[in-house]
Structure 1
Amino acid sequence: MKIHAAVARAPNIPFSLERLDLEEPREGEILVRVVATGVCHTDIVMRDQHLPVPQPVVLGHEGAGIVERVGPGVAKVAPGDHVVMTFNSCGHCPSCNDHEETYCHEFFPRNFFGARADGSSGLSCQGERIHGNIFGQSSFASHALCHERNVVKVPKDADLALLGPLACGIQTGAGAVMNALAVEPGKTLAVFGMGSVGLAAVMAARVVGASRIIAVDVNETRLALAAELGATDIVNGKVSDAVTAVMALTGAGVDYSVDASGVPAVIDQCVRVLAPRGTCGIVGASPQGATLTLDLTHILSGGRRVRGIVEGDSNPDVLIPLLIDLHRQGRFPFDRLVSFYDFADINQAVEDSERGIVLKPIVRQPAA
C-alpha cells in the first residue's frame, strides 16, 4: 500500500516527507493506521547518527493508532482495536524467558537496526530500500507494521492522540520509580533532569507515596511545573550546588535517585546524594562511549548501588493501561507535558524540542 512518512536521509538535516510503499503484514505482524506519534530525543539521536541506525530510514517509536489488518498467527489484537506501539523484543532469550523484556539480548537488533529479524524491510520508495522496523514500528508515518510482542491494546474511549509517549519516554520515567526502583511509601527520592522522563518520574513518585520528592534542574519554568506535578522540593543547580542543597534538605541523603539527563557530571551528583543503602537509577541516554568516574569508597562504605534502567523495567501490557487509568483519575496528568503538531510540521516539532521550547511534542496524522 502507499503511505506517507518522514524519512531521515542524512544526519543533522530535516526529515523528508515522502510517499512510500509498505508491505502487507507478514506472520506475527500488525498493520496499524497511525493516529499520532510522540517525538523522543532518541529519534533525534538516531537521525543524527549518534547511534548507528542505517539510512534512509523511517524513525518514530511512540506510535498510537488503530489496527487495520493482522498477519497470520496474530491473536492479541484484531482489526479495529486501539493500540500503542512500544519497544520490540525477541521472546526467546534468557531475559525474555524471565519476563525482563527490556533487557532482551536482541534489544538493539530488534529496535535500532532498521530491519526485520530476517534482514528485510517492509518499506521502499520506487524500488529503493527504506529502512524500517525501528522499535518494531517506524511510526513517523501514516501506517506502520508492528509485531504482536510490541503492541499494547488500550481502551477505545482513551484519547489515542495523547497516548503515544506512554510507549517510551513516559513509561521510562514512571517505570523507573514504580518498577525498577520500586519506591515505597515514605521513602525519599531525588530526580535530576526535568524533561518529560524526569517529570514522569516525579508524578509516579507522588502516586506511590514517596514522602519527599526533590526535583533538580537548571530551568526555573520546568522546576515550577515539577512542583505542580508533585515535587515537594525544587533545586536549581545553576543557583546552588545540587548535592549540598539535597543534603541540606535530607540530612543523610535520599533513598533513591534518578538521573534523566545522561550527563556524567550530573550522574555523579545523583550518586553523591544517596543515603546509605540508597540506589541510583540511570535512565538518561549518554553519548556513545561516555564514561563515569565514581567515589568507590562512598559506594562501598554505604552499600550504595548504581544501576541502568531501560524502558522502566516495564511490562508494557501492564504499565501502559495502568498509567492510562491513573491519568483518568487525575493522578498522573502527563497531558500537561505534551504539545501537539500536525504531522506535516514534524521538523518544527523536532526543532522546538531541541531548543527546549516544548517538553514532549506529539505529531498527529490528518483525520482519516
Structure 2
Amino acid sequence: MNQTFRCTEITAAVTRAQGAPFTLEKGRIRAPEGTEVLVRIVATGLCHTDLIVRDQYYPVPLPAVLGHEGAGIIEAVGPNVATLQTGDHVVLTFGSCGHCDLCAQGHVCYCQNFFGLNFGGADKDGKTAIEDMDGKPLHDHFFAQSSFATYAIATESNTVKVPKDAPLEMLGPLGCGIQTGAGAVMNSLKVGPGTAFASFGAGAVGLSSVMAAKAVGATTIIAVDVVASRLELAQELGATHVVNSREQDMVEAVRNITGGGVDFALETTGRAEVLAQAIECLGSLGTIGVIGAPKLGTKAEFDINNLLLLGRSIRGIVEGDSVPQIFIPQLIELNRQGRFPFDKLIKFYPFDKINEAVKDSESGVTLKAVLKIGDIPA
C-alpha cells in the first residue's frame, strides 16, 4: 500500500477461503486518489453475487473484501473529483471504464473492461486500497467499491449522489439487485402497457421486476417461484397471477393464464433448467432476459425450432441496462410516490450478524438483507 497518504482504520468482512464464513477483521484503507472518493458506509445490501463469488463461481482472488450495494456519506474526495464533495449522501454501483466504445455509446453495463474492473480484486493498475493489520493486502475494488466495510474507496463515475432526505440506510440495493430487476423491465425489455410479463424467481431481483412491470402498465404479471411466502408478497407488489412450480407445471400454467405465452419474461434464478422451461412460456415474438448468474461454463438446452419458428428472442442483461446516475434517482422518486415499494423487500441486520444474514438469504427466509454498518449524523 502507498503509505504517502493517510490511512483510515476500518472494520471489514473478509472472505478468506472458498465457501468459508465471513470474518470481521480490522484493517486500513488508503486515502482517495485522482477521481476516487472515500465513503463512510452506512449500510450495504447483501446480493446473490457476493455469495457466488464467496463460493468462487467467478474467480475473484482471495482473501477479499466483497460487498457491492453500498450506501454512505463521502468522507474525502480525490484531487480530480469534480461533481461530488465531502458530506454528500451517495449510493455506490458497478464500475465501468468510461472510455471504451460501449461506454462511449452509453452502454456502461457492457463496458469492455467490466469483468476486470468489477471482479479483478484490484484497481485497473493491479493495486489494492485495503490491507490487514499485518500490512498484507486484501483484494478489493469489488464492483469498484468493496462495501462490506466501514469505509470504501469508489470512483466518481460509480458514485451516485442521492437526496439527503431519502432513507440512506435502505438505498444500497438500488446500486445492483433492485436496479437490475427494475431496469431489465424498464430499460432492457421495454415492457409496455397492456403486455404480459413473467418473472421466473421471486427473490429481490424478480420482485423488483414485478414492481417495475406494474409501474409501466403491464396488465398480466406472473411470478413463478417455489416459496409460498414470496408468491404472496408478489401479489401484494403487483403480480396478477402466481405459479408455484413445485405444485404446477410452470409452462402449462403460464400458457393457460395468457392464452399462449407471455410477451416478456425474466430468468432470475441462474438455473439452466428453469431457463429452458421459461423459454417455452414465451408467446410468438416473445423475449426473455437472462439475469440469474450460474457458474462460469454453465450450459442450457432448448429446442431451436421452438425459438426459430415463433420468433422468440433470448438476451443477456447486466445491471438492467441502467445509467445509474439517471436511473437510481428515478427509482427513489417512484418509491416516494408509492409506485415502487422496494422497502418491503428489505430486512436489516447488524454488521456483525453478516453470516446470519447470509444463512437467511440462502434459505429464502430473507429477500434482501441489508447490513447496517454506520450511523447517519443527526
Q: Match for residue 15 of structure 2?
A: 8
Report if aligned partners of 2:12, 2:148 keep a CA contact under 8 Å in 1.
yes
User: Aligned partners of 2:60 and 2:336: how far apart in 1?
Assistant: 37
Amino acid at match of 1:41: H
Residue 360 of structure 1 is aligned with which of 363, 368, 373? 368
Q: Match for residue 46 of structure 2?
A: 39
Instruction: List alignment gaps of at least 5 residues for structure 1.
Output: none
Identical positions, percent: 54
Describe the SS at the equivalent of 2:306.
helix
145-154 or 12-21, larger mean C-alpha shift? 12-21
In the alignment, structure 1 residue 197 sits paired with structure 2 residue 205: yes
Cα deviation digits, residues 271-321 of structure 1 (max 9, x gap): 111111110101111222110111111111111100000000111111110
Report if aligned partners of 1:53, 1:113 keep a CA contact under 8 Å in 2.
yes
Q: Match for residue 158 of structure 1?
A: 166
Q: Aligned-residue CA RMSD in angstroms?
A: 0.9
Report if aligned partners of 1:36, 1:363 keep a CA contact under 8 Å in 2.
yes
User: Aligned partners of 1:274 and 1:356: how far apart in 2?
Assistant: 27
The CA deviation at 1:141 is 0.4
Q: Match for residue 104 of structure 2?
A: 97
Cα deviation digits, residues 5-56 of structure 1 (max 9, x gap): 1111111221111111101101010000000000001101111212111111
User: Aligned partners of 2:135 and 2:55: how far apart in 1?
Assistant: 25
Q: Match for residue 254 of structure 1?
A: 262
Describe the SS at the equivalent of 1:30.
strand
Cα deviation digits, residues 304-354 of structure 1 (max 9, x gap): 100000000111111110110011111111111010011111111111111
Q: Match for residue 341 of structure 1?
A: 349
Residue 56 of structure 1 is aligned with which of 47, 63, 79? 63
Q: Match for residue 29 of structure 1?
A: 36
TM-score by length of 2: 0.96
In the alignment, structure 1 residue 108 sits paired with structure 2 residue 115: yes
Residue 317 of structure 1 is aligned with which of 313, 320, 325? 325
User: Aligned partners of 1:355 and 1:213: how far apart in 2?
Assistant: 25
Report if aligned partners of 2:68, 2:143 keep a CA contact under 8 Å in 1.
yes
User: Aligned partners of 2:57 and 2:281: how far apart in 1?
Assistant: 30
Moved over 4 A (4+): none
Q: Match for residue 226 of structure 2?
A: 218
In the alignment, structure 1 residue 79 sits paired with structure 2 residue 48: no
111-120 or 44-53, larger mean C-alpha shift? 44-53
Amino acid at match of 1:58: V
TM-score by length of 1: 0.99
User: Aligned partners of 1:349 and 1:215: how far apart in 2?
Assistant: 24
Report if aligned partners of 1:342, 1:366 keep a CA contact under 8 Å in 2.
no
